[in-house]
Amino acid sequence: MNFARTTAELALRYASQEAVVNVERGRRYSFAEFDRLTNRIINMIHGRLGLARGDKYLCILDNDNLSLLHAWTAFKGEAAVAWTNYRDSFEEHLWQVDWLEPKVMFLESKLVEQYYPALHERGITVVSMDPPPIAGEGLHHFWDLLDGVADTNPGFESDALVDKMLYRFTGGTTGRGKCAEYTIDNWLGCRDAFYAPDEGVFREGCRSLQIAPLSHGPAIGLLPVHFRGGCLVTQNAPDLAQWCQIVEAEKVTTSSLVPTLAYRLLELEEADRYDLSSLEAVFYGAAPMSPSKLALLQARFGNIFIQVYGSTECLQAITQLSKADHLGEGESLARRLASTGRVVQGAELMIVDDDGKEVATGEVGELLLRTRSTISGYYRNPEASAQEFHNGFWRSGDLGFRDAEGYITIVDRKKDMIITGGFNVYAIEVENALNAHPAVVMSAVVGIPHDDWGEAIHAEIIARPGAEIAEDEVIEFVKARIGRHKVPKTMTFVAELPLSAAHKVLRRKVREKYWTAQTRQVG
């Protein structure tokens, strides 16, 4: 496949329409301009930087700069790209560098002074997206490198089904991330999966605002927008007040928010100050959403929410809870809102027991996923690949069940299930009960050591600012919803919870505080 030919067709069809808007840097590109720019970038990478088939380059960039080196650029070339989260630590980035061994690094200029010595020592060429703050051998300015480079089709072809063109690291919410490897077709499968359930979201002229890192979850929505003639609007800082301002200014029609950010939107003054009426769809996922908080969001912002469930390893929406699924009343609505929706057309989902046999409707088992977008394995990790992939299926590690109508409900991660006094307790269920309390913003539930029960249920809770909340009141509130044996035995009120760079709550970080120095460990 010559990917540049496919984007050239888009550039002809939507020539003068906006393709990319970078808010912080004030950049705006039409489809025609953006297609020529991305051609120049690949011609520069393979010409002036000398990369070839088999080489890799790694991007540690904020959203606006990463948008220039995203899938629509990467697949035009021969060298493979890797993206990682700009907000990961220096130590984590160096581990990723040593794992991938890239020849070139694209960096934000504010990282150059700290990162350059270690990268230069490894023989890596460094490209600073803005003028570099220091001088050094093998250190270049991105826009200087582009000067005078041709904007013609780079002319490269790749096997869309075989060649590994892109690498991303898993989120690492339960441990150190693994490196997923993708073909072009994995990403085209992701695009097509979003078109299968027709919500009218992806259409010519739609405008998609992304606040979360484009290296992670939001990446799956970019090609569906681009190939329908829509515009990507990027925002760098996870600032919800700015998000509201941009929605109004750019007439944004769709966006995505992880639950931790969506919860804060409920308390945000700017959500009332700015006109958000252009929003037609807000996708949420990456972590479970509290059904009670979701009901509040629906009441405040209307029926615009769509839930998707996917993963780094299975790069698409596997299940989707549509806007129509969010409507109704009573117990049936409550069950749907607690689910992740139904399986998207074209995806395969099996729920199996520990022996790999499919379980009956309503029974809990592990979710196995198989689609065009499911990767074949992890880079340089044959042990994990053999353990987690079989016959094209990926073992997700998520525990869930399917109801009679086909809605999939995830009850927990295998590693987060708490075994207390012989009972299996799912942390998500307890968190949903806690988060339903009007004075609770969010919570994290873990098992902590207990001499008699093995593990006791413990909760860390962020209370709503200015709210008065008592422990015994919370206990009674939770008991009434899920039963006595699932109630936290202890709880701590905290100002914040540990979050990943993608704003997922890191239960492992909460758990580690209580299991340090214990001879028996969990997870």
Query: Span 348-366, mean pLDDT?
Result: 96
* Residue 522, pLDDT above cutoff 70: no
Residue 381 binned pLDDT confidence (cut-offs 50, 70, 90): very high
- Burial class of 141 by CB neighbour count within 10 A (0 to 12, 13 to 18, 19+): middle
Return the pLDDT at 486: 86
> Of all residues in the chain, what percent carry a pLDDT higher than 90?
72
Tally of CB atoms within 10 A around 144: 13
Residue 171 binned pLDDT confidence (cut-offs 50, 70, 90): low
Rg, Å, the chain Cα set: 23
**Quick one: which of 298, 381, 393 has its CA closest to 352?**
393
Q: Do 442 and 428 touch, CB atoms closer than 8 A?
A: no
* Residue 71, pLDDT above cutoff 50: yes
Domains of the chain: 348-412 (2.30.38.10), 421-515 (3.30.300.30)
DSSP 3-41: HHHHHHHHHHHTTTSEEEEETTTTEEEEHHHHHHHHHHH
Query: Span 395-418, mean pLDDT?
Result: 89
The rounded distance, in Å, linking the Cα atoms of 441 and 449 is 26
3-state secondary structure of 80: strand
User: ∠ CA 65-67-71 to the nearest 5 degrees?
Assistant: 135
3-state secondary structure of 96: helix
The rounded distance, in Å, linking the Cα atoms of 6 and 336 is 39
Return the pLDDT at 426: 78
The rounded distance, in Å, linking the Cα atoms of 465 and 479 is 24
Half-sphere exposure of 216 (CA within 13 A, CB side): 24
Tally of CB atoms within 10 A around 286: 25
- Burial class of 345 by CB neighbour count within 10 A (0 to 12, 13 to 18, 19+): exposed
Return the pLDDT at 460: 94
Three-state SS letters, 360-421: CCCCCEEEEEECCCECCCECCCHHHHHHHEECCEEEEEEEEEECCCCEEEEEEEHHHEEEEC
The rounded distance, in Å, linking the Cα atoms of 169 and 384 is 13
Lowest mean pLDDT among 128-142, 240-254, 289-303: 289-303
pLDDT digits (tens, 9 = 90+) for 422-456: 667 878 889 988 998 999 999 999 988 876 677 88
3-state secondary structure of 242: helix
Return the pLDDT at 501: 67
Tally of CB atoms within 10 A around 361: 11
The rounded distance, in Å, linking the Cα atoms of 428 and 7 is 42
Tokens 């701590």 — which residue?
Answer: 492
Query: Span 81-92, mean pLDDT?
Result: 92
Strands (E), 213-314: 231-234, 254-257, 281-284, 305-309
Q: Which two tokens stand for residue 87?
A: 């907000």
The average confidence (pLDDT) of the chain is 92
pLDDT digits (tens, 9 = 90+) for 185-217: 999 999 999 999 878 899 999 999 999 899 988
**Phi and psi dihedrals of 260, rounded to 5?**
-60, -35
Return the pLDDT at 402: 98
**Dihedral of the CA atoms 243, 249, 252, 255 (nearest 10)?**
-10
Q: Do 461 and 493 touch, CB atoms closer than 8 A?
A: yes
User: ∠ CA 225-229-231 to the nearest 5 degrees?
Assistant: 60
3-state secondary structure of 507: helix
Q: Which residue has the higher pLDDT, 466 or 103?
A: 103
> Of all residues in the chain, what percent carry a pLDDT higher than 70?
96
